[in-house]
Chains A and B, each alone.
Chain A
Amino acid sequence: MTAYLAGRLVSLVASLLVASIVIFLVLEVLPGDPAQFILGMNAQPDTLAALRTQLGLDSPPLTRYLDWVLGMLRGDFGISYTYRVPVAELVGQRIGVSVPLAIYALALTVLLAFPAGILAAVKRNTPTDVAVMGVTQIGVAIPNFWFAMILVLIFAVTLRWFSAGGFPGWDEGFWMGMRALTLPAIALALPQASILARVMRSSLLDTLGEDYIRSARAKGLTERQALWRHALRNALIPVLTIIGLQFAFLLAGGIIIENVFFLPGLGRLIFQGITQRDLIVVKSVVMLLVCAVIVVNFLVEVSYVIVDPRLRRR
């Protein structure tokens, strides 16, 4: 187990290193002159020179890369070119929207997917099963940003139950914040819940076919008891893996939904950074999100292996 963990840790660090190199190359080396990229074609020569110095462009790329990575390890993400404040400060403000949104969406995903998946598996090959699977098939096919627009049209524009966008801040109270995040969370949750319900169904069908379920039935448990005591618990292992991966996805996947609802989260920060050509913000925030996704994936994989030791050899 220790050897396995050590191996996974080495590849985690390697992934993070390669990720940082790729992001650095894409954002700092490929566009040619980053200062020119940020300021555009009509920049004054002296402004350009000043920005080059601020960005440290006079030093070779390797030095700049090391400065960036070592700085991030210390919590120094650089100073935003457009906002003129430390990027770490911007991230601090916006993480309070993105992370709660991801958790909210994940909770809705589980609440929708578990009953749907279990129902479809228990009533397999009945009209109920076909209906649930049909709905999930459509749920997978709906782009979440379009679903978001439809939700706005129905619940914000027509019924006026929710506002069409924006975020009042948590200072306005917990419920006001949750209310602003509700439509975005539903929009994010629908496709994910559809995927999860399908996984739940097929995983449960697999375990329901196992010998130990037959034994449980033979020793006198009803079908319902066998389901709740034995099948469900074993079926949860692959389901939990998918949930972990979905959380990683939702963290980075809120990026478009945040734009639909004008939520001041990390995704919107990246977009604003891109449109304002603020490479310093984009570079560090993208790295932060990629890092979060890779670490969550790593934790999921490790916990999966702890639960099921057969998987240690791949």
Chain B
Amino acid sequence: MSQADILAPTEEKGLWRSALRSPSFVVGALLTVVIILAALVSFVWTPYDFAAQNIPNKLKAPSGANWFGTDQYGRDVFSMILVGARTSIAVALIAVGVGVGIGVPLGLTAAATRGSLLDEVIMRGNDLVFAFPALLIAILITAVFGPGAVNAIIAIGIFNIPVFARLSRGAALSLWQREFIMAAQVAGKGRLRVSVEHILPNIANTLIVQITIQFALGILAEAALAYVGLGAQPPTPSWGKMLADSQTMISLAPHLALAPGLAIVATVLGLNLMGDGLRDVLDPRLRRSRQ
């Protein structure tokens, strides 16, 4: 590990400048901002009421009046995509929050008590959750507890916990060997205070990069659950559900399958590109392998 890690927080301006020079960060951040704006705008404005049916106007191809066309009930697809962005973002973001909120404290605890029974129990538990086929178990959880956005969040969130626990433990372990941490301990700070005041701020960059990546995976997982009917329930529109509904009409109205799919791809692509760009800027240790 290099001096750059300690100096990083004082180089905020330089960070921004190098972030804006990274094409993947710029493209990714733009895509992400557009999608988040779309979700926010949908709270105050959509071209049509997303739930309003207009049967005579059904299955219309994209036009000036309905930018993305209409579905089999004559609902405006563009409005549904806007509102669907809310669902996807909310579910994926809260699921990441669950992973960070539980995983990071677990990882920091494991690192602070390295080699203890507690460390062993936490890490073994993580290995176990990692070994489960995530989507399968998520389907199981939502099937038993009933489909819905909250259960989808729990199902996706559980699998974010070991990701953040492992990451923060690994990053924290190497920090515990460093002089400034020892100095803090000599100054009389307990392990908890050192973890919160010194370790956490220093692993924040690594965490931010992982958060964008898990956010993207969460969007994909939410779409998959919604597609099989285990996500947010009607009338709440969600991209995955829209894809499922479009499937039987794919030869009549292919535009119905295109719009939600492209929305998912744009969101995931944006987040992944942004994560790549951020990693190059924030986490110099990982830069080597990407050259």
Contacts and interface: CB of A to CB of B under 8 A. Distances in A.
A32 to B, nearest CB: 10
Interface residues of B, number: 42
B71 to A, nearest CB: 15
B176 interface: no
Contacts of B145: 30
Contacts of A256: 135, 224, 227-228
Interface in A31-57: 31
Given A150-B257, A256-B227, A19 B128 contact: yes
A97 B227 CA distance: 22
B131 A15 contact: yes
B235 interface: no
Interface stretch (A64-72, A139-147, A170-178, A179-187): A139-147
Contacts of B216: 141
A11 B243 contact: no
Contact of B243 (A31, A140, A146, A205): A146
A146 B260 CA distance: 9
B143 A253 contact: no
B208 to A, nearest CB: 19
Would you call the interface of chain B mostly helix, strand, loop, or mixed? helix
Interface stretch (B7-15, B98-106, B264-272): B264-272
A286 B260 CA distance: 30
B52 interface: no
Nearest to A23: B140
Contacts of B265: 138, 141-143, 146
Nearest to A157: B251
A143 B272 contact: no
Given A19-B128, A293-B132, A145 B139 contact: no
Interface residues of A, number: 47
Contact of A143 (B127, B223, B246, B254): B223
Contacts of B224: 143, 145, 256
- Secondary structure of the A side of the interface? helix
A141 B268 contact: yes
A124 interface: yes
B140 A255 contact: no
Interface string A15-31: 10011000100110011
Nearest to A296: B131
B133 interface: yes
Contacts of B132: 19, 290, 293
Interface string A276-312: 0000001000100110011001000000000000000
Q: List the 6 closest pairs (A to B, CB-CB), nearest first.
A: A252-B133, A141-B268, A146-B261, A141-B269, A274-B143, A157-B251
Interface of A: 11, 14-15, 18-19, 23, 26-27, 30-31, 124-125, 137-138, 140-143, 145-146, 149-150, 152-153, 157, 202, 205-206, 248-249, 251-253, 255-256, 259-260, 270-271, 274, 282, 286, 289-290, 293-294, 297
Interface of B: 124, 127-128, 131-133, 135-137, 139-141, 143-145, 216, 220, 223-224, 227-228, 240, 243, 246-247, 250-251, 254, 257, 260-261, 264-265, 268-269, 272-273, 276, 288-291
11 contacts: A23-B140, A141-B264, A145-B224, A146-B243, A146-B260, A149-B257, A157-B251, A202-B289, A259-B228, A286-B136, A290-B133
